C-alpha cells in the first residue's frame, strides 16, 4: 500500500497530530439511518430528475427540470460550487463572487456491487486500460473496513460503500 495514500487518509481524518486525535463515533444501524430519518421529514424527494435551472421569485423558487418547470418554497443545492452557480439563472454578485472562487478537488471513486470472486473486471468508461472492482479490492477481506449499508428503504435504491 503506497505510503502517500496512507498519509493523505490520516491527514484528512486529523490523525497526524501529536495530540488530540478525533473521537470516532458511529451511527447505530449505519449511515443509511440518518438519511432515512431526514428523507422521512421531507415532503417531496425526487431522484434521477436532472435540474437545468433555478430562478427565484416572490413566492419562492422556480425549478426547471427535464420534466418541466415547477415552483417550490425552497430548494437544497448539494453539488460543487461552480455547478451550483451554473444552475442559478439570477445569481447575485455576492453569489457569483463566493461560488465562482471556491475551488474543488477532483477525486476518484470506484463503485461496485458484489464480492471479489463473482465480480469480473470491467474497463472503466472513458479510461482505457483501467479496471473496476477486482483491481481495487484488497484480496484479504480483513483489509476491508468502514461502511457497508443497504440502500435507503425510503428511496428504494440499493447503495453500499466500502473503504480500504
As given in the structure block, the three cell numbers for residue 131 are 479496471
44-76 pLDDT, tens digit each: 788 788 899 999 999 999 999 988 999 999 888
118-147 pLDDT, tens digit each: 444 444 455 555 444 444 556 666 665 554
CATH numbers and ranges of domains, the chain:
43-101 (3.50.50.60)
Cβ neighbors of 27 (< 8 A, separation 6 or more) are: 33, 34
What is the structure's pLDDT at 30?
79
As given in the structure block, the three cell numbers for residue 54 are 433555478
Amino acid at each position: 500500500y503506497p505510503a502517500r495514500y496512507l498519509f493523505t487518509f490520516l491527514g484528512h481524518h486529523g490523525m497526524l497530530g501529536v495530540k488530540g486525535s478525533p473521537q470516532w463515533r458511529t451511527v447505530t444501524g449505519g449511515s443509511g439511518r440518518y438519511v432515512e430519518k431526514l428523507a422521512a421529514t421531507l415532503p417531496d424527494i425526487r431522484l434521477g430528475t436532472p435540474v437545468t435551472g433555478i430562478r427565484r421569485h416572490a413566492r419562492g423558487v422556480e425549478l426547471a427540470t427535464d420534466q418541466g418547470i415547477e415552483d417550490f418554497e425552497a430548494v437544497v443545492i448539494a453539488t460543487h460550487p461552480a455547478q451550483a452557480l451554473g444552475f442559478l439563472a439570477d445569481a447575485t454578485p455576492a453569489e457569483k463572487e463566493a461560488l465562482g472562487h471556491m475551488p474543488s478537488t477532483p477525486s476518484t471513486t470506484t463503485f461496485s456491487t458484489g464480492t471479489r470472486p463473482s465480480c469480473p473486471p470491467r474497463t472503466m468508461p472513458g479510461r482505457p486500460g483501467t479496471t473496476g472492482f477486482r483491481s481495487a479490492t484488497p484480496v484479504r477481506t480483513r483489509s476491508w473496513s468502514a461502511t457497508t449499508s443497504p440502500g435507503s428503504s425510503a428511496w428504494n435504491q440499493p447503495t453500499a460503500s466500502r473503504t480500504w
